[in-house]
Amino acid sequence: MIIGKRKKSLLARLFFYMAVLLLLSLACLGGAVRLDLISPVESFTLTSRLAFYGGSLLMFLSLLALISVSRNHRLKGTAQLLLTLVIGLALSAPVLYLQKTNGGVPKIHDITTDTEHPPTFTVLQEDRRTTDNSLDYAGEQLAARQQAAYPQIRPLITPLPQDAAFDTAIATARELGWQIVLADRKSGRIEATDRTTWFRFIDDIAIIVSPRDNGSRIDLRSSSRTRDNDLGTNARRITAFIRLFDGKTTAR
């Protein structure tokens, strides 16, 4: 029996500690993939499931506890329970949104500025032999889906001559944090890899710099190795390259 001052609900404390433990577990999964203890696919799968089911459970339990606290005027803990509820919602809602809408983008893992003659890979071709996704371009159907979702993805036309454009392309890729694995000035070919920020998925990038009247044309292709759904990552990567490259050109 509670006498005197209002005491904080034990459930409020328990559920809040559960929320903290859940957040720490998700952070550990992110750390584990960076230490190569688990694969990016395993990290993504475990994180999605833990965030959705754990967050949903927290929401349900905190709502029940809020009802209990509101009815028992001798208990306090509403603020803590509301915070737990928000944490649960913040964890489970994004996963549900992605499951239902795919983030508002189509399930594509291969994006290019030239859908008729997409840049090919040479050095990275060998690395892709054991991955889930082939480097064979899917053709007109993929091109149509890309055009509908990302109409802004177009070849980069620059007034820079080929050599200058090639150097600027390498500088841009490095500034974006891409790992250059091939830089063949003679053919105008650059190949690189990049990792996604949290789950560390590896994506491969091919860049072709070709001469044209009064400048150069640059085509890019960014392709995910393991997942069939990049959630817009490859399109954002190409867009970021084009913007940064244009910024460097303008600054000249």
CB 181 within 8 A of CB 165: no
The predicted model gives 196-216 an average pLDDT of 94
Q: Terminal CA-to-CA distance of the chain, rounded, Å?
A: 77
Q: What is the pLDDT of residue 238?
A: 97
Amino acid at 239: T
Q: How far apart are CA 86 and CA 106, in angstroms?
A: 29
Q: Could you report the per-residue pLDDT of 141-185, keeping only the tens digit for each?
A: 999 999 999 999 999 999 999 999 999 999 999 999 999 999 999
Residue 4 has pLDDT above 60, yes or no: no
* Dihedral (CA of 176, 243, 163, 211) sign: positive
The predicted model gives 3-32 an average pLDDT of 83
Greater confidence, 78 or 25?
25
141, 133, 142, 111: which is closest to 205 by C-alpha?
111
Residue 242 has pLDDT above 50, yes or no: yes
The predicted model gives 2-29 an average pLDDT of 81
